[in-house]
Chains A and B, each alone.
Chain A
Protein backbone atom coordinates (compact mmCIF):
# COMPACT_ATOMS: atom_id res chain seq x y z
CA UNK A 1 0.00 0.00 0.00
CA UNK A 2 1.81 3.15 -1.08
CA UNK A 3 1.40 6.53 0.45
CA UNK A 4 -0.79 8.24 -2.14
CA UNK A 5 -3.34 5.42 -2.00
CA UNK A 6 -3.50 5.65 1.78
CA UNK A 7 -3.86 9.44 1.59
CA UNK A 8 -6.66 9.08 -0.95
CA UNK A 9 -8.59 6.57 1.16
CA UNK A 10 -8.14 8.58 4.34
CA UNK A 11 -9.36 11.63 2.43
CA UNK A 12 -12.44 9.75 1.25
CA UNK A 13 -13.03 8.47 4.79
CA UNK A 14 -12.76 11.92 6.39
CA UNK A 15 -14.97 13.46 3.69
CA UNK A 16 -17.60 10.77 4.26
CA UNK A 17 -17.45 11.31 8.01
CA UNK A 18 -17.87 15.06 7.62
CA UNK A 19 -20.72 14.52 5.15
CA UNK A 20 -22.43 12.30 7.74
CA UNK A 21 -21.99 15.07 10.33
CA UNK A 22 -23.47 17.65 7.97
CA UNK A 23 -26.36 15.27 7.25
CA UNK A 24 -26.97 14.84 10.99
CA UNK A 25 -26.77 18.57 11.64
CA UNK A 26 -29.00 19.83 8.85
CA UNK A 27 -31.25 17.01 7.67
CA UNK A 28 -31.79 15.32 11.05
CA UNK A 29 -31.45 18.13 13.60
CA UNK A 30 -32.48 20.97 11.24
CA UNK A 31 -29.80 23.31 12.54
CA UNK A 32 -30.93 26.20 10.33
CA UNK A 33 -34.61 26.07 11.22
CA UNK A 34 -34.19 26.41 14.97
CA UNK A 35 -34.89 29.49 17.02
CA UNK A 36 -31.56 30.91 16.03
CA UNK A 37 -31.25 34.64 15.68
CA UNK A 38 -32.81 37.47 17.61
CA UNK A 39 -35.61 36.73 20.05
CA UNK A 40 -37.62 38.69 22.58
CA UNK A 41 -39.13 37.36 25.80
CA UNK A 42 -42.81 37.51 26.73
CA UNK A 43 -44.45 36.48 29.98
CA UNK A 44 -47.85 34.90 30.48
CA UNK A 45 -49.67 33.66 33.59
CA UNK A 46 -51.82 30.57 33.44
CA UNK A 47 -54.15 28.94 35.95
CA UNK A 48 -53.14 25.50 34.78
CA UNK A 49 -50.19 24.48 32.62
CA UNK A 50 -51.20 20.87 32.07
CA UNK A 51 -48.09 19.19 30.71
CA UNK A 52 -46.36 22.23 29.21
CA UNK A 53 -42.60 21.88 29.34
CA UNK A 54 -39.58 24.05 28.76
CA UNK A 55 -38.71 24.13 25.03
CA UNK A 56 -42.32 23.45 24.04
CA UNK A 57 -43.21 25.33 20.86
CA UNK A 58 -45.11 28.62 20.77
CA UNK A 59 -47.34 28.68 17.71
CA UNK A 60 -49.53 31.20 16.01
CA UNK A 61 -51.85 29.95 13.30
CA UNK A 62 -49.94 26.69 13.53
CA UNK A 63 -46.57 28.22 12.71
CA UNK A 64 -43.80 27.86 15.30
CA UNK A 65 -42.83 31.41 16.29
CA UNK A 66 -40.91 30.68 19.48
CA UNK A 67 -40.12 28.36 22.37
CA UNK A 68 -40.97 28.21 26.07
CA UNK A 69 -37.89 29.35 27.99
CA UNK A 70 -38.87 29.03 31.63
CA UNK A 71 -41.73 27.78 33.79
CA UNK A 72 -42.16 28.89 37.41
CA UNK A 73 -44.85 29.30 40.07
CA UNK A 74 -46.03 32.58 41.58
CA UNK A 75 -46.75 32.01 45.26
CA UNK A 76 -48.79 35.23 45.58
CA UNK A 77 -51.37 34.65 42.89
CA UNK A 78 -50.94 30.87 42.82
CA UNK A 79 -50.56 30.92 39.10
CA UNK A 80 -47.96 29.46 36.79
CA UNK A 81 -45.62 31.94 35.12
CA UNK A 82 -44.38 31.01 31.68
CA UNK A 83 -41.58 32.91 29.99
CA UNK A 84 -41.22 32.27 26.30
CA UNK A 85 -38.97 33.58 23.58
CA UNK A 86 -40.48 34.73 20.30
CA UNK A 87 -38.42 35.33 17.20
CA UNK A 88 -37.81 38.99 16.52
CA UNK A 89 -39.25 38.85 13.02
CA UNK A 90 -42.69 37.93 14.44
CA UNK A 91 -44.51 40.85 16.10
CA UNK A 92 -47.82 40.57 17.95
CA UNK A 93 -50.35 43.24 19.06
CA UNK A 94 -50.66 44.21 22.74
CA UNK A 95 -54.01 42.47 23.18
CA UNK A 96 -52.79 39.11 21.91
CA UNK A 97 -54.19 36.20 23.86
CA UNK A 98 -52.38 32.99 24.77
CA UNK A 99 -53.85 29.53 25.19
CA UNK A 100 -52.30 26.21 26.11
CA UNK A 101 -53.30 23.74 23.44
CA UNK A 102 -52.60 20.12 22.67
CA UNK A 103 -51.35 18.86 19.35
CA UNK A 104 -53.49 15.90 18.47
CA UNK A 105 -55.51 14.00 21.04
CA UNK A 106 -52.62 12.86 23.20
CA UNK A 107 -49.81 14.95 21.74
CA UNK A 108 -47.48 17.45 23.35
CA UNK A 109 -48.76 20.71 24.71
CA UNK A 110 -47.86 24.06 23.21
CA UNK A 111 -48.79 27.71 23.56
CA UNK A 112 -51.10 29.10 20.90
CA UNK A 113 -51.03 32.86 20.32
CA UNK A 114 -54.14 34.55 18.93
CA UNK A 115 -53.36 38.11 17.77
CA UNK A 116 -55.73 40.94 18.74
CA UNK A 117 -56.32 44.27 17.01
CA UNK A 118 -54.23 46.72 19.00
CA UNK A 119 -52.07 49.02 16.85
CA UNK A 120 -49.12 48.73 19.27
CA UNK A 121 -46.98 45.62 19.45
CA UNK A 122 -45.71 43.61 22.41
CA UNK A 123 -42.14 44.42 23.40
CA UNK A 124 -39.44 42.47 25.20
CA UNK A 125 -40.51 41.63 28.78
CA UNK A 126 -44.19 42.45 28.24
CA UNK A 127 -46.77 40.16 29.72
CA UNK A 128 -49.81 38.74 27.97
CA UNK A 129 -52.96 39.44 30.00
CA UNK A 130 -55.53 37.31 28.19
CA UNK A 131 -54.63 33.72 28.90
CA UNK A 132 -56.37 30.43 29.10
CA UNK A 133 -54.82 27.41 30.78
CA UNK A 134 -54.66 23.85 29.66
CA UNK A 135 -57.75 21.69 29.54
CA UNK A 136 -57.27 18.91 32.03
CA UNK A 137 -59.00 15.79 30.84
CA UNK A 138 -60.24 14.83 34.34
CA UNK A 139 -61.95 18.22 34.83
CA UNK A 140 -63.57 17.94 31.44
CA UNK A 141 -64.89 14.46 32.18
CA UNK A 142 -66.17 15.44 35.64
CA UNK A 143 -67.96 18.45 34.08
CA UNK A 144 -69.48 16.23 31.44
CA UNK A 145 -70.66 13.72 34.03
CA UNK A 146 -72.10 16.55 36.16
CA UNK A 147 -73.99 17.88 33.12
CA UNK A 148 -75.29 14.45 32.21
CA UNK A 149 -76.68 13.77 35.70
CA UNK A 150 -78.27 17.21 36.19
CA UNK A 151 -79.90 17.39 32.74
CA UNK A 152 -81.09 13.82 33.29
CA UNK A 153 -83.71 14.61 36.01
CA UNK A 154 -84.73 17.92 34.37
CA UNK A 155 -86.80 19.14 37.40
CA UNK A 156 -84.51 21.68 38.97
CA UNK A 157 -84.62 24.96 37.01
CA UNK A 158 -81.82 26.51 39.09
CA UNK A 159 -79.47 23.65 38.35
CA UNK A 160 -80.46 23.80 34.70
CA UNK A 161 -79.09 27.34 34.56
CA UNK A 162 -75.76 26.13 36.01
CA UNK A 163 -75.63 23.37 33.48
CA UNK A 164 -76.14 25.86 30.68
CA UNK A 165 -73.31 28.01 32.03
CA UNK A 166 -71.07 24.98 32.32
CA UNK A 167 -72.01 23.89 28.84
CA UNK A 168 -71.09 27.27 27.36
CA UNK A 169 -67.84 27.16 29.27
CA UNK A 170 -67.17 23.77 27.74
CA UNK A 171 -67.91 25.05 24.27
CA UNK A 172 -65.59 27.98 24.87
CA UNK A 173 -62.81 25.70 25.95
CA UNK A 174 -63.25 23.41 23.03
Chain B
Protein backbone atom coordinates (compact mmCIF):
# COMPACT_ATOMS: atom_id res chain seq x y z
CA UNK B 1 0.00 0.00 0.00
CA UNK B 2 1.82 3.05 -1.26
CA UNK B 3 0.74 6.53 -0.37
CA UNK B 4 1.90 9.92 -1.59
CA UNK B 5 4.46 11.51 0.66
CA UNK B 6 2.17 14.49 1.19
CA UNK B 7 0.20 12.29 3.59
CA UNK B 8 3.23 12.00 5.85
CA UNK B 9 2.05 14.83 8.07
CA UNK B 10 -1.43 13.32 8.46
CA UNK B 11 0.07 9.94 9.17
CA UNK B 12 2.31 11.41 11.82
CA UNK B 13 -0.70 13.13 13.39
CA UNK B 14 -2.66 9.90 13.37
CA UNK B 15 0.20 7.95 14.89
CA UNK B 16 0.59 10.52 17.66
CA UNK B 17 -3.13 10.48 18.43
CA UNK B 18 -3.30 6.69 18.51
CA UNK B 19 -0.20 6.60 20.69
CA UNK B 20 -1.66 9.17 23.12
CA UNK B 21 -4.96 7.28 23.42
CA UNK B 22 -3.12 3.98 23.78
CA UNK B 23 -0.94 5.39 26.58
CA UNK B 24 -3.98 6.80 28.37
CA UNK B 25 -5.76 3.47 28.17
CA UNK B 26 -2.67 1.57 29.26
CA UNK B 27 -2.10 4.00 32.15
CA UNK B 28 -5.71 3.47 33.29
CA UNK B 29 -5.38 -0.32 33.16
CA UNK B 30 -2.06 0.01 34.97
CA UNK B 31 -3.73 2.07 37.72
CA UNK B 32 -6.50 -0.54 38.05
CA UNK B 33 -3.88 -3.30 38.31
CA UNK B 34 -2.08 -1.29 41.00
CA UNK B 35 -5.27 -0.76 42.97
CA UNK B 36 -6.08 -4.45 42.64
CA UNK B 37 -2.75 -5.22 44.27
CA UNK B 38 -3.45 -2.89 47.20
CA UNK B 39 -3.81 -5.78 49.67
CA UNK B 40 -0.30 -6.91 48.71
CA UNK B 41 1.06 -3.45 49.53
CA UNK B 42 -0.48 -3.51 52.98
CA UNK B 43 0.19 -7.17 53.70
CA UNK B 44 3.88 -6.48 53.22
CA UNK B 45 3.75 -3.31 55.29
CA UNK B 46 7.56 -2.84 55.61
CA UNK B 47 7.72 -2.31 51.83
CA UNK B 48 5.11 0.46 51.98
CA UNK B 49 6.74 1.92 55.10
CA UNK B 50 10.01 2.13 53.20
CA UNK B 51 8.28 3.99 50.37
CA UNK B 52 6.59 6.41 52.79
CA UNK B 53 10.08 7.01 54.17
CA UNK B 54 11.53 7.76 50.73
CA UNK B 55 8.57 9.75 49.37
CA UNK B 56 7.44 11.45 52.57
CA UNK B 57 10.15 11.72 55.21
CA UNK B 58 12.90 12.63 52.78
CA UNK B 59 10.64 15.33 51.24
CA UNK B 60 10.13 16.92 54.65
CA UNK B 61 13.05 19.34 54.39
CA UNK B 62 12.08 20.87 51.08
CA UNK B 63 8.37 20.98 52.03
CA UNK B 64 8.92 22.59 55.44
CA UNK B 65 11.49 25.14 54.25
CA UNK B 66 9.47 26.09 51.16
CA UNK B 67 6.29 26.34 53.22
CA UNK B 68 7.96 28.64 55.71
CA UNK B 69 9.30 30.93 53.01
CA UNK B 70 6.06 30.99 51.01
CA UNK B 71 4.20 31.95 54.19
CA UNK B 72 6.75 34.64 55.06
CA UNK B 73 6.56 36.14 51.56
CA UNK B 74 2.77 36.09 51.76
CA UNK B 75 3.05 37.90 55.09
CA UNK B 76 5.29 40.62 53.66
CA UNK B 77 3.39 41.11 50.41
CA UNK B 78 -0.01 40.80 52.05
CA UNK B 79 0.86 43.35 54.71
CA UNK B 80 2.16 45.76 52.07
CA UNK B 81 -1.13 45.61 50.15
CA UNK B 82 -3.51 45.44 53.12
CA UNK B 83 -1.82 48.37 54.87
CA UNK B 84 -2.85 50.59 51.95
CA UNK B 85 -6.48 49.91 52.81
CA UNK B 86 -5.88 50.24 56.52
CA UNK B 87 -6.86 46.65 57.18
CA UNK B 88 -3.57 45.01 58.07
CA UNK B 89 -5.38 42.93 60.74
CA UNK B 90 -6.83 40.88 57.88
CA UNK B 91 -3.31 39.57 57.20
CA UNK B 92 -4.10 36.32 59.03
CA UNK B 93 -7.13 35.74 56.80
CA UNK B 94 -5.14 36.42 53.64
CA UNK B 95 -2.25 34.14 54.58
CA UNK B 96 -4.46 31.33 55.89
CA UNK B 97 -7.02 31.28 53.09
CA UNK B 98 -4.51 31.46 50.26
CA UNK B 99 -2.41 28.71 51.83
CA UNK B 100 -5.23 26.39 52.91
CA UNK B 101 -7.17 26.64 49.67
CA UNK B 102 -4.57 26.97 46.95
CA UNK B 103 -0.89 27.38 47.67
CA UNK B 104 -0.59 24.60 50.25
CA UNK B 105 -1.94 21.74 48.14
CA UNK B 106 -0.62 23.00 44.79
CA UNK B 107 2.92 24.04 45.71
CA UNK B 108 3.37 21.01 47.97
CA UNK B 109 2.24 18.77 45.09
CA UNK B 110 4.60 20.48 42.63
CA UNK B 111 7.50 20.03 45.05
CA UNK B 112 6.43 16.46 45.72
CA UNK B 113 6.37 15.73 41.98
CA UNK B 114 9.87 17.05 41.48
CA UNK B 115 11.33 15.59 44.67
CA UNK B 116 9.59 12.22 45.05
CA UNK B 117 7.86 11.64 41.71
CA UNK B 118 11.06 11.93 39.70
CA UNK B 119 12.85 9.62 42.14
CA UNK B 120 10.12 6.99 41.83
CA UNK B 121 10.25 7.12 38.02
CA UNK B 122 14.03 6.93 37.90
CA UNK B 123 14.12 4.02 40.34
CA UNK B 124 11.48 1.96 38.56
CA UNK B 125 12.91 2.89 35.15
CA UNK B 126 16.36 1.76 36.18
CA UNK B 127 14.93 -1.46 37.63
CA UNK B 128 13.38 -2.10 34.23
CA UNK B 129 16.55 -1.14 32.33
CA UNK B 130 18.64 -3.54 34.42
CA UNK B 131 15.98 -6.23 33.95
CA UNK B 132 15.20 -6.53 37.62
CA UNK B 133 11.48 -6.42 36.87
CA UNK B 134 11.87 -9.27 34.36
CA UNK B 135 13.89 -11.23 36.91
CA UNK B 136 11.07 -10.86 39.41
CA UNK B 137 8.58 -12.18 36.89
CA UNK B 138 10.88 -15.14 36.28
CA UNK B 139 10.70 -15.89 40.00
CA UNK B 140 6.88 -15.68 39.85
CA UNK B 141 6.87 -12.44 41.80
CA UNK B 142 4.45 -9.92 40.32
CA UNK B 143 6.44 -6.67 39.91
CA UNK B 144 3.20 -4.65 40.15
CA UNK B 145 2.52 -6.11 43.58
CA UNK B 146 6.12 -6.06 44.77
CA UNK B 147 7.41 -2.76 43.30
CA UNK B 148 4.57 -0.60 41.99
CA UNK B 149 1.80 -0.91 44.58
CA UNK B 150 3.96 -0.07 47.64
CA UNK B 151 5.39 2.99 45.86
CA UNK B 152 1.96 4.09 44.75
CA UNK B 153 0.49 3.86 48.24
CA UNK B 154 3.56 5.37 49.83
CA UNK B 155 3.09 8.44 47.66
CA UNK B 156 -0.69 8.61 48.11
CA UNK B 157 -0.36 8.43 51.91
CA UNK B 158 2.53 10.92 52.08
CA UNK B 159 1.05 13.64 49.90
CA UNK B 160 -1.88 14.84 52.11
CA UNK B 161 0.40 14.85 55.16
CA UNK B 162 3.01 16.89 53.28
CA UNK B 163 0.29 19.26 52.07
CA UNK B 164 -0.97 19.79 55.62
CA UNK B 165 2.59 20.34 56.87
CA UNK B 166 3.27 22.84 54.08
CA UNK B 167 0.11 24.79 54.92
CA UNK B 168 0.77 24.76 58.66
CA UNK B 169 4.39 25.92 58.37
CA UNK B 170 3.29 28.54 55.84
CA UNK B 171 0.79 29.97 58.30
CA UNK B 172 3.46 29.95 60.99
CA UNK B 173 5.77 31.76 58.55
CA UNK B 174 3.08 34.36 57.95
CA UNK B 175 2.68 34.66 61.72
CA UNK B 176 6.42 35.18 62.21
CA UNK B 177 6.57 37.95 59.61
CA UNK B 178 3.21 39.55 60.33
CA UNK B 179 3.07 39.44 64.11
CA UNK B 180 6.64 39.03 65.33
CA UNK B 181 8.48 41.17 62.77
CA UNK B 182 5.94 43.74 61.54
CA UNK B 183 3.79 43.91 64.64
CA UNK B 184 0.25 43.12 63.50
CA UNK B 185 -1.95 42.59 66.54
CA UNK B 186 -1.65 38.94 67.54
CA UNK B 187 -5.26 38.58 68.71
CA UNK B 188 -6.67 40.12 65.54
CA UNK B 189 -4.38 37.95 63.43
CA UNK B 190 -5.71 34.67 64.84
CA UNK B 191 -9.31 35.66 65.57
CA UNK B 192 -9.99 37.08 62.10
CA UNK B 193 -8.37 33.98 60.63
CA UNK B 194 -10.54 31.70 62.73
CA UNK B 195 -13.67 33.65 61.78
CA UNK B 196 -12.89 33.50 58.06
CA UNK B 197 -11.53 29.97 57.61
CA UNK B 198 -14.19 27.29 57.57
CA UNK B 199 -13.26 23.74 58.48
CA UNK B 200 -15.38 21.94 55.90
CA UNK B 201 -15.31 24.59 53.19
CA UNK B 202 -11.61 25.41 53.29
CA UNK B 203 -9.55 22.91 55.30
CA UNK B 204 -11.33 19.77 54.10
CA UNK B 205 -11.40 20.92 50.47
CA UNK B 206 -7.69 21.68 50.67
CA UNK B 207 -7.05 18.18 52.02
CA UNK B 208 -9.18 16.65 49.25
CA UNK B 209 -7.07 18.57 46.72
CA UNK B 210 -3.87 17.26 48.30
CA UNK B 211 -5.20 13.70 48.21
CA UNK B 212 -6.19 13.94 44.53
CA UNK B 213 -2.83 15.47 43.62
CA UNK B 214 -1.12 12.65 45.52
CA UNK B 215 -2.95 10.04 43.44
CA UNK B 216 -2.27 11.90 40.18
CA UNK B 217 1.44 12.53 40.78
CA UNK B 218 2.23 9.04 42.06
CA UNK B 219 0.22 7.42 39.30
CA UNK B 220 2.11 9.40 36.65
CA UNK B 221 5.44 8.65 38.35
CA UNK B 222 5.00 4.88 38.60
CA UNK B 223 3.51 4.64 35.12
CA UNK B 224 6.29 6.63 33.45
CA UNK B 225 8.87 4.51 35.28
CA UNK B 226 7.18 1.25 34.25
CA UNK B 227 6.77 2.43 30.68
CA UNK B 228 10.27 3.90 30.31
CA UNK B 229 12.34 2.53 27.39
CA UNK B 230 15.01 0.39 29.05
CA UNK B 231 17.90 2.65 28.13
CA UNK B 232 19.74 5.42 29.95
CA UNK B 233 18.17 7.92 27.58
CA UNK B 234 14.73 6.40 28.06
CA UNK B 235 14.93 6.66 31.85
CA UNK B 236 16.06 10.27 31.71
CA UNK B 237 13.25 11.11 29.28
CA UNK B 238 10.70 9.38 31.51
CA UNK B 239 11.90 11.31 34.56
CA UNK B 240 11.52 14.60 32.72
CA UNK B 241 8.07 13.60 31.49
CA UNK B 242 7.00 12.75 35.05
CA UNK B 243 7.81 16.24 36.31
CA UNK B 244 6.34 18.06 33.30
CA UNK B 245 3.15 15.98 33.08
CA UNK B 246 2.65 16.11 36.86
CA UNK B 247 2.96 19.90 36.92
CA UNK B 248 0.46 20.32 34.09
CA UNK B 249 -1.97 17.79 35.55
CA UNK B 250 -1.73 19.38 39.03
CA UNK B 251 -2.52 22.86 37.71
CA UNK B 252 -5.32 21.66 35.43
CA UNK B 253 -6.89 19.50 38.16
CA UNK B 254 -6.55 22.41 40.58
CA UNK B 255 -8.58 24.63 38.28
CA UNK B 256 -11.29 22.00 37.84
CA UNK B 257 -11.54 21.25 41.56
CA UNK B 258 -11.52 24.94 42.50
CA UNK B 259 -14.34 25.57 40.02
CA UNK B 260 -16.41 22.83 41.67
CA UNK B 261 -15.49 23.52 45.29
CA UNK B 262 -15.57 27.30 45.57
CA UNK B 263 -17.98 28.18 42.79
CA UNK B 264 -21.02 28.50 45.01
CA UNK B 265 -19.18 30.41 47.74
CA UNK B 266 -19.65 34.10 47.18
| Chain A interface residues toward B at CB < 8 A | 1, 3, 6-7, 9-10, 12-14, 16-21, 23-25, 27-31, 33-34, 53-54, 57
Contact = CB atoms under 8 A, between A and B. Distances in A.
Interface string B125-169: 000000000000000000000000000000000101110110111
A30 B194 contact: yes
A19 B164 CA distance: 9
Contacts of B257: none
A20 B166 CA distance: 9
A21 B158 CA distance: 13
B52 interface: yes
Given A13-B161, A24-B203, A29 B49 contact: no
A34 B204 CA distance: 15
B82 to A, nearest CB: 13
Contacts of B52: 10, 13-14
Given A20-B167, A29-B203, A10 B56 contact: yes
A88 to B, nearest CB: 20
Given A6-B50, A6-B53, A29 B199 contact: yes
**Interface SS of chain B: helix, strand, loop or mixed?**
helix
B111 interface: no
B113 to A, nearest CB: 18
Contacts of A54: 266
A27 B169 CA distance: 13
A171 to B, nearest CB: 27
A80 to B, nearest CB: 16
Contacts of B49: 3, 6-7, 10
B30 interface: no
B56 A29 contact: no
A14 B57 CA distance: 9
Interface in B177-205: 190, 193-195, 197-199, 202-203
B39 interface: no
Contact of A23 (B46, B160, B168, B207): B168
A141 B150 CA distance: 68
B228 interface: no
B100 interface: yes
A1 B49 CA distance: 12
Nearest to A9: B57
A13 B197 contact: no
